[in-house]
Amino acid sequence: MIDLDEIDRAMIRAVAADALITAGALGRQLGLSQPAAWRRLKRLREAGIFRGQRLDLDAQALGFTVTVFLGVKLATKGRVSLEDFERAVTAIPEVQTVEHVLGLYDYRLRVIARDITDFERVLRRRIMTLPGVGNIDANVLLSEERLPGPIG
Amino acid sequence: MLDDVDKRVLRRFQMDPTLSLAELARLAGVSTATCARRLQRLRDTEVIRAVRTVINWPALGYSVEVSLRITLDKTQPRAFDEFLAAAREVPEVIEAQTFLGQVDARLSVIARDMPHYQQVYRDKLLTLPHIADIEALMHVARVKFDETLPL
């Protein structure tokens, strides 16, 4: 496991917030020279701490006003049905995330839609017709915050 | 309002935010200059908020992720605000959401291992204010997590 000091943690926070920040800007923020910042960043990258990049778009401005979380219980289980379900559900563009979970549900889906009518269309035509789907439980997102996590 | 060119650029860009300007322009079928101008305008109007880096928590030693679905005691008028304010102070909470539906709130919680999760759950989460009921979903795998918009 990689050892992190306070500067590393601050660096991870800064890179999480802005993937395009330069080593020079990081250095100025954290009181390091540009080469020193670059070396630290390289070490964090090589330790696999960054999983990739995500474009943070204003969904509202792009016309997507409804986000719904669905808890999906499969009616039939077995390896084949899990694979079929996963393949079909990940292909739906409105389904933004799919998590396999243990507990009350088998899968947790994040679905985005233009409005409630659009959501109903996605639910009826695409999600309720998925192979093996049993019970579905829906919760409409009202607010959301992402927190820095234990490196804060 | 966005036109088809903006949408094409955004669609390609969100599929791979690490693309160079030239690659992005080529995939979106526009000139590099047009692509640069469109991106600048999308940034200026804050349609593009930022390019974020996704943290790989398991690489930092956090291998357990649990989704807690919480029902709040709504007879307390400030239940939502007070619950969220207290949840924000727990470092292991990486996401907090509120809902209209069967559950009122959800927290994404990460922990190093099950004993650590147990400790966070007992000492920091069960003690959050106004909880009426709480149920846990344990993450097994992320099947899809790109969070792209269906543009």
Q: What ipTM does this complex have?
A: 0.87
Examine the domain organization and report whether A13 and A41 are in the same domain.
yes
Same domain assignment for residues B123 and B80: yes
Shared-domain flag, residues B13 and B81:
no
Name residues whose C-beta falls within 8 Å of residue B54's C-beta, 6 or more positions apart in sequence: A16, A50, A51, A52, A53, A54, B145
pLDDT of residue B142: 86
Token couple for B118: 């147990």
Six-digit token pair at B27? 């995939």
Residues whose CB falls within 8 Å of the CB of residue A59, separated by 6 or more in sequence, listed in order: A65, A67, A112, B149
**Residue B59 phi, psi (nearest 5):** -65, -20
Q: Is A113 strand, coil or helix?
A: strand
Mark whether B121 and B83 lie in a shared domain.
yes
Q: Report pLDDT for A152.
A: 67
Residues B50-86 have pLDDT tens digits of 999 999 999 999 999 999 999 999 898 899 999 999 9
Looking at residue A126, what is its pLDDT? 95
Whether the CB of A4 is below 8 Å from some CB of chain B: the reply is yes
Same domain, residue pair A85 and A128: yes
Distance CA A45, CA B10 (A): 26
- In the predicted model, what is the mean pLDDT of chain A? 92
Q: How do residues B13-37 score in pLDDT, each as one tens digit?
A: 999 999 999 999 999 999 999 999 9
Out of A51, A143, A149, closest to residue B97 by CB: A143
- By the 8 A CB rule, do B36 and B42 touch? no
Closest-CA residue in chain A for B42?
Answer: A57
Is B64 found in the same domain as B37?
no
Subunit contact A110:B137, Cβ cutoff 8 A = no
- Tell if the CB–CB gap between A57 and B10 is shorter than 8 Å: yes
pLDDT per position as a tens digit, B124-149: 999 999 999 999 999 988 888 878 89
Please tell me if residue A3 touches chain B, with a CB cutoff of 8 Å.
no
Do residues B71 and B132 make contact, with C-beta atoms less than 8 angstroms apart?
A: yes
- Give domain status of residue A19, yes or no: yes
The encoded tokens of residue B140 equal 């097994």
Pairwise CA distance, residues A35 & B10, whole Å: 33
Evaluated on CA atoms A19, A22, A25, A27, the torsion sign reads positive
- Domain enclosing residue B29, as ranges: 4-44
User: Pick from A38, A63, A149, A34: which is nearest to B52 by CA?
Assistant: A149
What domain count does chain B have?
2
Whether B12 maps to a domain, the answer reads yes
> How does pLDDT run across A128-152, given as a tens digit for each residue?
999 889 899 999 999 999 998 998 6
Q: A86 in a domain, yes or no? A: yes
Q: How far apart, in whole angstroms, are the C-alpha atoms of residue B134 and residue B14?
A: 35
Q: What does the alpha-carbon distance between residue B27 and residue B6 come to, in Å, rounded to a whole number?
A: 13
Same domain? For A76 and A136 the reply is: yes
B28 and B76 share one domain: no
pTM attached to this predicted model: 0.88
- pLDDT per position in chain A (152 positions), as tens? 788 999 999 999 999 999 999 999 999 999 999 999 999 999 999 999 999 999 999 999 999 999 999 999 998 777 667 888 999 999 999 999 999 999 889 999 999 999 999 999 999 999 999 988 989 999 999 999 999 899 86
User: Are both B104 and B134 inside the same structural domain?
Assistant: yes
**B65 and B109: one domain?**
yes
